[in-house]
Structure 1
């Protein structure tokens, strides 16, 4: 997660209708793969735990009841970073199944190592492009919550097209959520929060659970863990904005 800054939202171009927006925006990624040194624990996670908890695109469309061996609420987190929040949620809510999606090897390795050490069986992990996982691997109307916490804000105007929250992404998520399921977003960049509110307010089939469109944000729900970075930012006066939209059709 990045340090708190403010950028100016691009209001020069109207939102693209979901039917007009390319699903995968081929050639444009919302992330950049970065090389990083792996710790022994992270390497262990990728080498020893991955065969049990890891998933790939080649596994195809999932039967989630068969995957987890039960019928339970399902939560998907896109871009879990180093995984601390996702691990805490999986450990705190053993009756819920979690799927994490992250492209960076150190974070995937750390999450797998921690999941194994804590004996978690309600967590699976993709190290893949989230758009492809949602499109190719998760069935329609199969998940209760999709979490998008502190995605890269791509603050420069010329990079706004790289932001993962776009009309096509909102529509893809809607098809994977159950009716009544929620898309929960959080960011520490005010201008990205404004972008999220603008895109989601125009997205068909969603309802903002906030009190009104004039106040599109909600206080941090108790079920979203407070990260160390976020707590430090709060002490420094940095803001965090949560948005929760429910699939209504």
Structure 2
């Protein structure tokens, strides 16, 4: 791997945004390999690298070879990667603070954290280094390819999707991650009893999530009658019940996106399902 020390040949702006050589290229369709993109399709994300800090670049340089994997179509051996721990796939971990907190709180559980944001990978690696966590592996690229080509059937103990891009404009709804086609891809990878946990502060997307998950006979809503939402005022739901939605579990920390949404007056909805 390359050194984390700044290169004297590069200007400061380039040094801060450059990722280590071992880090995979972003998944732009026109640059992707055949294994990464075997067909043209609508994607739920926009590939981006963004500007990294020196600390994030250093963490990538030190930790990517050990903790990171490119989403390139190569099948993963999850038992070997996680030492036999049950593995939950988290799609879209942002800057990694929530992922790191959950990993530190339960070292017996493995987390396969997938995202396309380079600074987020570096940031999460900093947290893992700080906490000494050994139960997280990072995946860079398109989670659809990860699920389709790289994970065996019944290999996941859970799926987490927290605050995905809501794509609020009607013409962009087709880009939302939680749709029937995505669920068809996910379900075979979930072991019996696996938990599917999603959260959003965009109410129309929450309704779509709930409808898509409720429609599957292979999933059971653990809060079908509704146990309420901690973010709703009692007078709005006198019985303390929001049908279909779950309260935020204690093991899900409040995320940065969640705090921002709450500050804007948004209502946060969690949905929690179990694979039959």
TM range (shorter): 0.7 to 0.9
What is the Cα-based RMSD across aligned positions, in Å?
Answer: 1.9
Judged with a 3 Å threshold, the aligned counterparts in structure 2 of structure 1 residues 181 and 35 are, in CA distance, closer, same or farther, namely closer
Unaligned runs of 5+ in 1: 1-23
- Please give the residue correspondences for 1:61-80 in structure 2 after superposition, counting only pairs within 5 Å: 61-68=75-82, 70-80=83-93
Match of 1:153 among 166, 179, 192: 166
Larger relative contact order (C-alpha < 8 A, sep ≥ 6)? 1
Match of 2:131 among 118, 130, 135: 118
Q: CA deviation at 1:229?
A: 4.1
Contact 1:190 1:239 in 2 (8 A): yes
Contact 1:100 1:124 in 2 (8 A): yes
Q: CA deviation at 1:235?
A: 5.3
Q: Compute the TM-score of the two structures, normalised by the length of structure 1.
A: 0.84
Judged with a 3 Å threshold, the aligned counterparts in structure 2 of structure 1 residues 168 and 229 are, in CA distance, closer, same or farther, namely closer
Contact 1:208 1:216 in 2 (8 A): yes
Q: Compute the TM-score of the two structures, normalised by the length of structure 2.
A: 0.76
Match of 1:223 among 251, 256, 259: 251
Q: CA deviation at 1:204?
A: 3.4
Superposed CA offset, 1:19-53 (max 9, x none): xxxxx983311011234211011111222210110
Matched residue, 1:39: 53
Count residues in correspondence. 224
Match of 2:271 among 243, 246, 249: 243
Matched residue, 1:26: 40
Superposed CA offset, 1:106-133 (max 9, x none): 1111111221222211110001100111
Q: CA deviation at 1:236?
A: 5.1
- Please give the residue correspondences for 1:129-168 in structure 2 after superposition, counting only pairs within 5 Å: 129-168=142-181
Superposed CA offset, 1:128-168 (max 9, x none): 10011111111111111100000000000000000011111
The answer to whether the aligner puts 1:54 opposite 2:68 as a matched pair is yes
